[in-house]
Every structure is written in structure tokens, then in C-alpha cells.
Amino acid sequence: MSTSTVTLSGRTRTDATWLRLVQLSVAVIVAPLGILAIVGTYFTTVSDSDFRYAADYWLTAPGLPIALAGIGVALGVHKLQHGADGRLGTIGFWLTTLALAELFVQLTASLVVGAEVRWGPSYPVFTLISLLGLALLAAGSWRTGVLPRWMLGLWPLVWVVGSFAAVGLAPFALIAFLVALGVTLTRRVRCGEGKGVSQGLDQSRARNLT
């Protein structure tokens, strides 16, 4: 067996692992986003500080799996490109991870103490950092062919308005987008478009090295 065959086989297994991570993350995020949309639209009585209503918890708790799944999707997309997304992709992924990890901790603290925990302007600041991180990851992924460019362009904005800055039924738009992302990524990695994607990745790597 040639070295190139072994390398390709190893890369295929690695890609399958990261693809499963994206698929699992999309599956995990659907229910929390649905809860966020329904509670945010139809159960509008919430507390300003101490939690006194069930809606306070129902609006806060979904943020935990949403943050983790958001990291999972970003990690999977980043790793599937094998470095072809360059420094922009790497910086974008880590900014996204940092922002969502902070939001996870802040929301966890709110649930533990039964009140809205506010660390200055950290919530809106880290929400915007997650947007910036995804924008950088999308920019780094622009020429790799792993995802369509229209999808990369929408990803940061749809993420923010559908999750941590959600209003009304906007999370349902994020559900639709992430399902489409998962289906598209699966098709491109597994079924017939792999050659085109691989060529895009190789060309992007070459540009990053020059």
C-alpha cells in the first residue's frame, strides 16, 4: 500500500470524525433553539434580576447546549479544512470558542444563583465577539469549497440573531440554516464533490504557504 493511499485513508477517517461532530452538534442544538423561540415569543413575563418565573429558566438554560453546539460546529468546519482556512480560520475559531465559553459560564452562573448574572457589558461584548469569530472563520473558508460562499456570508449574522441576540421566532431561522449547513457539508465531504473540495483545499494551502 502506497504512502499516499495510507494518507488518504487516514484523512478520510479524520474527516468522518469531524463531520460526525458537526452532525451531532446540529442535532443537539435544534431543541434548545426551538425552546428559545417559543418561550421568547409566547412567554414574555420574565424577571429583571432574580428569577421568579419559569420563563427565566427556560430562556437561560437553552443557552448552555447552544454555546457548546456552536463550538462543535465551528470546530468541525475548521478541522475539515486541514489548515486551508489559514490564520483567519484559526483566529476565528478560537475567538468563537472563547466567546461561547464565556457565555456558557455566565449563563451557568445565572442558573446556579437563580438570578441574571451581569459581569458589566460582557454578555453583549462576547456575543459580538462570537459574530466576529465566525466572520473570520467564514472569511478564511471563502476559497476552500467546503461550504458555499452564500452560506459562509450568512453564517455569522444568522448565528447571532438566532441565538444569543435572538428576538421572537428568529431561532427557527438558525435551525433551518444549521440543518442546511449540516446537509451541505455531509454531501460535499462524502458524496461526489470531494474532488472539488480537495482541490480547493490544496489551492488554499498553497496560497497560505506563499
Least confident of 9-13, 86-90, 164-168: 9-13
Between CA 189 and CA 31 the distance in angstroms is 26
Number of Cβ atoms within 10 Å of the Cβ of 131: 21
Least confident of 45-49, 86-90, 99-103, 183-187: 45-49
pLDDT category, 202, cuts 50, 70, 90? low
Q: What pTM, to 2 d.p., does this model score?
A: 0.87
Residue range 154-180: mean pLDDT, rounded: 96
More reliable by pLDDT, 9 or 155: 155
Q: What is the pLDDT of residues 54-104, one digit of tens each?
A: 888 899 999 999 999 999 999 999 999 999 999 999 999 999 999 999 999
> Is the confidence at residue 30, as pLDDT, over 90?
yes
Between CA 60 and CA 106 the distance in angstroms is 10
Answer whether 161's CB lies under 8 Å from 147's CB: no
| Nearest partner of 15 among 161, 210, 203, 185, judged by Cα | 185
- Tally the C-alpha atoms within 13 A of residue 114's C-alpha that lie toward its C-beta: 4
State the Rg of the chain over Cα: 19
Between CA 145 and CA 147 the distance in angstroms is 5
- Provide, rounded to the nearest whole percent, the portion of the chain with pLDDT above 90: 67
Domain ranges of the chain: 12-209
